[in-house]
């Protein structure tokens, strides 16, 4: 009888620990198999998904993530279908002096209608440039297209990884002309305006990241 009682207590204790561990990481787990990955500085959700060879949409669904662009350091992400924890590239350490930033160009020609930073009750993580006609939208620096598709809240979106752990994002009224995995050069055409038919101003939304952190693009554009 005493042994049975001890075993019961141990079982309850182990179950309690396992439940607490899951609660600490996420409120909802939709997949039985997978691994937990804790986001470290400089890691992006699309790079994490690529490293684990899992579709970005699957990671979004498993974690109920709407904003795939701004993932806070320290966030626990469940990777469905993964069998073991993998190292994901984040920060670039020991960056040579003089190579901390690249020579970027403007994504398009137009007037800035919304700047980086807090705007009323909202925060704009990039800049919005007015598209008056059929202006080209170009890559602001050479790199690799790591995402080409729709993101909730952004619409059609292109994300390009550059050297020195920079990333650029292009969204909103955008007709995408590049594919995921494609290499592009600086000033190369990546999109055209998809003019708004609802009477609102058509814009391209541009964001810039360094080591996974959102930065003001105006500090890096000529």
pTM for this prediction:
0.62
Domain residue spans of the chain: 2-80, 112-219
**Torsion angle, CA of 110/116/119/121, rounded to 10 degrees?**
130
Report which of residues 123 and 93 the model is more confident about: 123
How far is it, in rounded angstroms, from Cα 214 to Cα 125? 7
For the chain, the helix, strand and coil percentages under 3-state DSSP, each to the nearest 5:
20, 30, 50
Q: Which CATH number fits domain 112-219: 2.70.70.10, 3.40.190.10, 3.50.50.60, 3.40.50.970?
A: 2.70.70.10
How far is it, in rounded angstroms, from Cα 95 to Cα 106? 25
Split at pLDDT 50, 70, 90, the class of 4 is very low
Q: What is the dotted CATH code of the domain comprising 2-80?
A: 3.10.350.10
Q: What pLDDT is attached to residue 84? A: 84
- pLDDT above 50: residue 93: no
Q: In 3D, which of 44, 219, 41, 204 has the Cα closest to residue 133? A: 204
Q: What pLDDT is attached to residue 33? A: 87
β-strands 213-215, 203-210 pairing: antiparallel
């Amino acid at each position: 009888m005493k042994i049975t009682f001890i075993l019961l207590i141990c079982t309850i204790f182990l179950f309690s620990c396992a439940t607490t561990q899951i609660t600490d990481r996420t409120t909802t787990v939709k997949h039985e198999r997978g691994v937990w990955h804790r986001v470290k500085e400089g890691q992006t959700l699309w790079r994490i998904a690529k490293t684990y060879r899992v579709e970005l949409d699957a990671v979004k669904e498993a974690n109920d993530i709407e904003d795939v662009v701004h993932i806070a350091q320290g966030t626990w992400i469940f990777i469905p279908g993964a069998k073991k924890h993998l190292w994901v590239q984040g920060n670039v350490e020991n960056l040579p002096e003089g190579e901390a930033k690249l020579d970027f160009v403007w994504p398009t020609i137009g007037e800035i209608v919304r700047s980086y930073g807090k705007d009323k009750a909202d925060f704009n993580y990039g800049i919005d440039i007015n598209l008056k006609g059929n202006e080209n939208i170009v890559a602001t620096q050479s790199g690799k297209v790591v995402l080409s598709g729709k993101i909730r809240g952004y619409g059609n979106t292109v994300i390009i990884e550059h050297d020195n752990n920079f990333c650029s994002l292009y969204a909103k009224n955008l007709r995408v002309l590049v594919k995921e995995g494609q290499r592009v050069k600086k000033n190369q055409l990546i999109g055209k305006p998809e003019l708004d038919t609802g009477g609102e101003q058509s814009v391209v939304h541009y964001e810039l990241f360094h080591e996974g952190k959102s930065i003001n693009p105006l500090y890096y554009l000529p």
